[in-house]
Amino acid sequence: MAFSFSNLFKPQKVQSVTEIISEIDFKGGTKYAENGSNTVYLDIEELGGFPFIKTIIIGDFSTKIKRTGCTLSFIFEKNSLILSSDHTDIESNRIKNTPAFYTEVDFELTEEEANKIKDEKVLEIQYAFKDKILAFNPISIQIQ
């Protein structure tokens, strides 16, 4: 077997973010919504008797926000619900050896708001980060 420089300098196939997302089997949440290049995992959880929404965005979206946080809007057929992030500092992390990122954001909510999200049909969710709005279409899954 001979050494070949052509094999050494051959360009490596780079996976797109969409391919990477389709291969991810994330067990830390319920796959809730997606857009062209990102997927949202969302669960309503409880801590100390208070409900909150735990979300994770996986895809090509990346941000680093200090002191302002973000909002999450649930768009229903007749109205909407806007929630503020639990923390004001939000930072995306790169998924090792890929061009993809994951961004974890938690949101405070009341029991009434949690029931509304569970019971009503959500048409769209929107994250508002400083100067960027990310819109997602829900997958037809009920959150627990």
Q: Give residue-wise pLDDT tens across range 24-60.
A: 777 888 999 999 899 999 999 998 888 999 999 999 9
pTM of the model: 0.84
Interatomic CA distance for residues 102 and 80, integer angstroms: 26
pLDDT of amino acid 6: 61
Mean pLDDT to the nearest integer, 109-133: 93
What digits encode the pLDDT tens for the residues 71-110? 999 999 999 999 999 999 999 999 888 889 999 999 999 9
Helices (H), 57-140: 111-119
Go through the domains of the chain in sequence order and give each one's CATH number: 26-138 (2.60.40)
The angle formed by the CA atoms of residues 118, 21 and 26, to the nearest 5 degrees, is 55
User: E-strand spans in the chain?
Assistant: 31-34, 38-47, 50-59, 64-65, 70-76, 80-84, 90-91, 93-94, 101-108, 122-129, 132-138
